[in-house]
Amino acid sequence: MSDVTVRAPAKINLHLGVGPLRPDGFHALATAYQAVSLFSTVTARPATQWSVACDGQAGIDISGVPLDESNLALRAARLLAEHAGPAGTVQPVSLHIGKGIPVAGGLAGGSADGAAALLACDTLWELGTPRDELLTLAGELGSDVPFALVGGSASGHGRGELVTPLEDNGAWTWVVLTFGEGMSTPAVYGEYDVLHADIQLPDPEIPSRLVEALRTGDVAALAGSVGNDLQPASLRLRPALVEPLRSGLDATAYAALVSGSGPTCLFLCEDDDHAEHVAAALSAYGQVTVARGPAPGAEVL
């Protein structure tokens, strides 16, 4: 095989419930993920040395993407190679990332690269790694990586890596507002900890009405059940997000929320016409894209 290209989606958190800090330093999460139609690709090619390169699609700023051993796509390829057998079992690869997901935006773009690299290398090396083993490796790489393999809509427990598909019969339209400057996920969790310093956090849960809204595809019901426990912390660190969230609602979006740790903001709309109207009200704040969910998980192109 000469090369393999895999496409993987961005994720949004329809609900992000953050619970107590665990002994390993991660918070217990209960989240409802949805994959949306913003994609990155990873191409794996046989090579004599391991390497990774990255290009941005559609004006995406890739200056924050590390091109050393810390790159998640490269770490994924290395981890799968180790899993496959002793050194030399598989040939090194050169990886090329086509970034279609804004960096550090709360859309799990790095995780999508990791998931895409796992599947691309598994296919290139003809390993046929069982799905559950790929998901375990994905979970070792990062909390959001397993979901990028699975896609659709799904619950995430543990630190987010324990993923179970949710029935989703909706055709959801989101206006996605992204910004040039990303936010650090650890900084947002740090602020969350400050805000909850004296509070005993309950175990987080996904609202049953959200699960029901996905099953029935009811946009008003979904709008009433989305939520993000990290949002107050993100807004404290980036108060400039308050105004676009309000403007989206004023422009009749059904719901407005911060995606994951932010700063990307999400606006739930009825259909394309409605999304166009909401998008027009937001274009002064940042880059506006219309995305649809649920999108498929990582797939070989």
Annotated catalytic sites, by residue?
Answer: 11, 144
Q: Which helix (H) or strand (E) holds 287?
A: strand 287-293
Peptide bond into 263 cis (omega under 30): yes
Minimum distance of ligand ATP from residue 216's CB (angstroms) = 29
Q: Residue 121 or 219: which CB sits closer to ligand ATP? A: 121
- From 235, 208, 236, 297, select the one nearest 17 (Cα to Cα): 208
Q: Provide, rounded to whole angstroms, the least separation between the CB of residue 77 and ligand ATP.
A: 11
Q: Which of 111, 49, 58, 26 is nearest to 297 (CA)?
A: 111
C-alpha dihedral, 79 to 85 to 89 to 91, nearest 10°: -10
Binding residues for ligand ATP, rule: CB under 6 A, are 64-66, 70-73, 97, 103-111, 113, 144, 185, 260-261
Are the beta carbons of 271 and 299 closer than 8 angstroms?
no
Nearest-CB residue to ligand ATP?
Answer: 110
Nearer to ligand ATP, 61 or 212 (CB): 61
Taking the C-alpha atoms of 75, 78, 79 and 80 in order, what is their torsion angle to the nearest 10 degrees?
130
- Token pair 């770490």 is found at 75
Number of H helices, E strands in the chain: 10, 12
Nearer to ligand ATP, 182 or 244 (CB): 182
Shortest distance in whole angstroms from residue 67 CB to ligand ATP: 9
Give the shortest CB-280-to-ligand ATP separation in angstroms.
26
**With respect to ligand ATP, which residue has the nearer C-beta, 161 or 170?**
161
